[in-house]
Amino acid sequence: MIRVCLLSLLLLMLPPVAGAIDADAPIADEEQRLLYEDLIAEVRCLVCQNQTIGDSTAPLAADLRREIRGMVESGQSEGQIKDFLTERYGEFVLYRPRYTGSTAVLWIAPGALVLMGGVALWRVVRKRATLPVTSEEEDAMDA
């Protein structure tokens, strides 16, 4: 009994096996299939903004998967397909927007903020290190 319980628990903990969202047969050509899968995992579903079109069951996501599949099968490159999408929906449609004038701040800001914080921290720490030790701190060190 306990074995059955443990086994079912174990099965429950398995990550859900990747279920295909498309009802159609996968693309036969291996390279094209991988490109298609990469793309649908990177294109945002604009109806349900925190999902990719590979995750979403929204009708628009299904339409976009169909378009992308058609483009992949007709031999278009990743760049061409991304251009097609951004010309219509803007860079927001890509989860990793490309580096352009208007998206530069997105890419630079996090690094710049960490850098600024680091410099500030370093300066404070260095300044504190040169301060004379107070009597309270001496007590704390002795304890």
Query: Which positions lie near another protein, rule CB under 8 A?
Result: 46-47, 49, 59-60, 63-64, 67, 86-90, 92
Residue 35 and residue 70 in contact, taking contact as beta carbons nearer than 8 Å = no
Q: Smallest gap, in angstroms, from Cβ of residue 129 to another protein?
A: 18
- Please tell me the distance from the alpha carbon of residue 135 to that of residue 133, in angstroms, as a whole number: 7
**Smaller CB separation from another protein, 20 or 60:** 60
* Beta-carbon contacts of residue 58 (< 8 Å; ≥ 6 apart): 45, 47, 48
- Name the residue among 38, 39, 70, 40 with its Cα closest to residue 57: 40
**Smaller CB separation from another protein, 89 or 107:** 89
**Smaller CB separation from another protein, 34 or 108:** 108
Q: Smallest gap, in angstroms, from Cβ of residue 142 to another protein?
A: 32
